[in-house]
Amino acid sequence: MHLYRSALLRFADDGTALYEEDGLLATAPDDRGVQRVHAAGAWRALAPLYLSQASQPVTHWPGRIIAPGFVDMHVHYPQLDVIGSPADGLLPWLENYTFPHESRFADAGYAAGVAGFFLDELQRNGVTTALTFATSHPGSVDALMAQAHARRLRLIAGKVLQDCHSPDGVRDATEQSLIDTEALIQRWHGKGRLGYAITPRFAPTSTPQQLSGAGALAARYPDVWVQSHVAENQQEIRWARELFPGARSYLDVYARVGLLRERAVYAHCIHFDDEDRAAMRESGAVAAVCPTSNLFLGSGQFDFAGADRMGFGYGLASDVGGGTSFSPFHTMLAAYYVGREGQTKTGLSLAPQRLWWLHTAGAARALGLDGVVGNLQPGCEADFVVLNPAATPLLARRTAGAAHLDELLFAMIVLGDDRLIERTVIA
């Protein structure tokens, strides 16, 4: 058993933050060799119980905070090198930057190089669980999964399905794309801490035949994830309406082929009506909220109040490379901005504890990984970050003056970046 002593942040089942200024975290390996939380709480209460069980000296990090590793619900590893590319909106951005770059992932060596840098960047920013897109090339999945497995990461990924309205180099063949997807499921899903996600890029770049095939695979493998995009901007919605005139809404395109279900994660979900929101709730599908990419591309703003009113699940995501940062602090701050906007929707001031929860335990719950990752309660896999609240002079000054937990958390959200992450520990 390994004992850590530091300030400690974790979450109750209702999302309330639990904070110990002098905390103890005890971890021990399970029968698969994965470190799990054995105990967490106040040092004074737990130390007498566990010091005698420690297999090595206590790791003491004074002035630091141990917190759950962050969970990124939607990110594109092949878009690492197009982050910060200027464009007039989503569709021009895809055409001018994303598709040409993703064609390079036909080269397995190139894919492996990007995958390594991408995983380094996730860990440097304290992200220990991610749901990510690959490209339409099966080798892009193999490259990412192999390296994630070697690092013992909990990662979910999938080959992009796009058999129409896509240029040469990224467009795949309908039947072969489904064969490749099933082979990748069998190769990677459940290997170590890896999971697979059936991944139509978005409805307009898949034929009805490919979408139906994806739905059939989702029915055949109910424990895999589904991920795609929906209702991101108005131009995209008009396009989907033209291509699928029989569907009630953009979201309904996926529902009709069996892709709206538990473990289905849809990025954006901005331009929804209440019927869409009800369909998300009733199906168990969830939204990956991507505030930095929505602001960057001018797509619109997620309606947090509408989602809460209708009761469907969601969590936060970077959406790199449309998103502008790997940093969960940047994402949480953007979510705060988006929530506060009250001219086009109901404004909602998201509390610091809730913002943090939406990028850790709440995101894990949305992914169906509640009690597995995103928290530091007993039984959880022990992925965590060590935060230095004095990482910069201004941050040190502001956190030292925090009168209560919400002020401390919000100061780190507003002023934090990758420098706040002193180290990332993988279970």
pLDDT tens, residue by residue, 9-50: 999 999 999 999 999 999 999 999 999 999 999 999 999 999
Q: Do 356 and 380 lie in a common domain?
A: no
133's tokens: 């897109």
Q: Do 61 and 160 lie in a common domain?
A: no
User: Which helix (H) or strand (E) segment is 339 a member of?
Assistant: helix 328-340
Q: Do 305 and 380 lie in a common domain?
A: no
Task: Give residue 171's domain range.
Answer: 70-366
Q: Do 149 and 59 lie in a common domain?
A: no
Q: Do 121 and 56 lie in a common domain?
A: no
Q: Do 79 and 24 lie in a common domain?
A: no
Q: Do 44 and 156 lie in a common domain?
A: no
Q: Do 49 and 133 lie in a common domain?
A: no
- Measured between alpha carbons, how far is 285 from 304 in angstroms, rounded to an integer? 16
Amino acid 92: pLDDT: 83
Q: Do 357 and 393 lie in a common domain?
A: no
User: Which helix (H) or strand (E) segment is 67 a member of?
Assistant: strand 59-68
Residues of the chain with pLDDT under 70: none
Report whether 115 contacts 142 (CB < 8 A). Answer: no
At position 210, the amino acid (one-letter code) is Q
pLDDT tens, residue by residue, 358-385: 999 999 999 999 999 999 999 999 999 9
Q: Do 228 and 110 lie in a common domain?
A: yes
CATH number at residue 17: 2.30.40.10
Domain boundary among 317, 333, 366: 366
Return the residue matching tokens 């935060």: 387
Q: Do 184 and 293 lie in a common domain?
A: yes
- Measured between alpha carbons, how far is 377 from 259 in angstroms, rounded to an integer? 32
Domain boundary among 316, 347, 366: 366
CATH number at residue 215: 3.20.20.140
Q: Do 335 and 383 lie in a common domain?
A: no
Determine whether 263 is exposed, middle or buried from the number of CB atoms within 10 Å of its CB (0-12, 13-18, 19+).
buried
State the pTM of this model.
Answer: 0.97
How many residues in the chain? 427
Amino acid 96: pLDDT: 85
Total domains in the fold of the chain = 2
